[in-house]
Homo-oligomer: A and B are copies of this chain.
Amino acid sequence: MAQGSDDIQALIALMARLPGLGPRSARRIVLQLVRKRSQHMTQLAQLLDRVAINSRECTICGNITDRDECAICTDPARATGEICVVQDVADLWALERGQAFKGRYHVLGGTLSALDEIGPDELGIPALIARIHGENISEVILALNATVDGQTTAHYIADALVDSDISVTGLAQGVPIGGELDYLDDGTISAALRARRRL
């Protein structure tokens, strides 16, 4: 192998399959790792190995954790009356970075999709409804993506809770912080106008 060794070639090929990377960026990363192999490379290998072995899904909410129940579900300081329903673990992490929500989560792991044959049972929506009723929840926040599938899923869950006293809410739609109207799509501007508020 002219370019390093068979292992280096295999490492580049594996890296190139990661999201956002391609052959060129993978090559650059591997070369940098090899150059500084005494510093980062072994540490990276150990961390990857440990995370691969220890990571699992929280049995309550579906968050990724290294225990059976995640740090959020077992945190006594978090409000127990609110559940925030998200599509994906990445969305849960994004909300946590925002630090605005102090309740607990439920990760669906996807959205309803007729095309991909994903129905309520595949997403575990009956289990979510049972959890909501079982935990004495007062508010369910549906923090799902503002896409067709995301909103279909939100409406399905809202419908399933319509006969209860539970307040079901969704994220506000409008102009993002720092957003310039000129660059926003028409749908967002219309939504922001319809939901206008008194200053």
Contacts and interface: CB of A to CB of B under 8 A. Distances in A.
A4 B65 contact: yes
Contacts of A130: none
A55 B37 contact: yes
A167 interface: no
A156 interface: no
A34 interface: yes
Interface string A91-133: 0010011000000000000000000000000000000000000
A5 B55 contact: yes
Interface residues of chain A: helix, strand, loop or mixed (majority)? helix
Given A17-B40, A33-B18, A51 B11 contact: yes
B90 A31 contact: yes
Interface in A1-30: 1-8, 10-11, 14-15, 17-21, 25, 27-30
A45 B45 contact: yes
A41 B52 contact: yes
- Which 7 pairs, one residue from A and one from B, show the smallest C-beta to C-beta distance? A41-B52, A45-B48, A5-B66, A45-B49, A2-B96, A11-B47, A3-B93
